[in-house]
Amino acid sequence: MVRVDLNSDLGETVDGSPTADDAAMFRLISSANIACGFHAGDADSMLVSCRLAVENGVSVGAHVSYRDRAHFGRADLEVLPAVLTDEVIEQLTALAEAARNAGTRIRYVKPHGALYNKIVSDDRRADAVARAIAEFSPGLPLMGLAGSAAERAASRFSLPFVREAFVDRAYQHNGTLVPRKLPGAVLHGASEVAERAVAMVTDGTVRALDGRLVHVEVDSLCVHGDTPDSVEMATAVRLALAAAGVEVGAFA
């Protein structure tokens, strides 16, 4: 049977208020990218998220970001590589403590927002992130877009690389994501998202915003937790994948 991971960005509280229905999403996914305090979240939300992960048999991932709560980690900041490495280690250390207290541990790392997009093409920043992971825990997997600078950096630092595809984000013809500021960048229809998920896993394709068919390689599908209809979309994705004979399960 074909198997794929289903992940979501969770624990993204802002001033103590949740941005997603975390309790519902944890019941639908197999891996959770938990905010580590730099773009959202705090020590309390990290502990709550890790406990929910344990209760629901979900793998814990570190959702590391630029230090940017003002823009929810979605502004491309100028950060020296050495500083970025230290900041990623700081976030991993914070989440690791919460995970230990909840009886689990970090299983992988997924950068967030502007940092994620930056290390699609920027080798220096990608190396800074990979170096941080390797120093923190050698061999800890890095999640990102296939064929990206992040994948090359993972190879250089001997990290397993998990290829991710987004079911609720529009793609450009070159396989990168359409920037959020452009119309049509974020998808909302549960049925459309579910169809895309099945095509990504079974056919290795996704229809770009301009109508072209794009090849994708995927180990893990993402449904963003802060999308208003994320629970409906994740439910539809699970049902559609099951109907297509695809099993959902954590890669780590």
Query: CA 21 to CA 248: how far, in whole Å?
Result: 20
Which pLDDT band holds residue 252 (cuts at 50, 70, 90)?
Answer: confident
Pairing relationship of beta strands 220-222 and 2-10 according to DSSP bridges = parallel
At 228 the pLDDT is 84
| Helices vs strands, H then E, count in the chain | 8, 10
Which pLDDT band holds residue 116 (cuts at 50, 70, 90)?
Answer: very high
Q: Please report how many Cα atoms fall inside a 13 Å half-sphere around the Cα of residue 4, on the Cβ side.
A: 29
At 1 the pLDDT is 79
Query: Which of these CATH numbers, 3.40.630.30, 3.40.50.170, 3.90.1150.10, 3.20.20.370, describes 2-248?
Result: 3.20.20.370
At 47 the pLDDT is 98
Structure confidence by residue, pLDDT tens digits, 27-56: 999 999 999 999 999 999 999 999 999 999
Main-chain dihedrals φ then ψ at residue 63, nearest 5 degrees: -100, 85
What are the structural domain ranges in the chain?
2-248
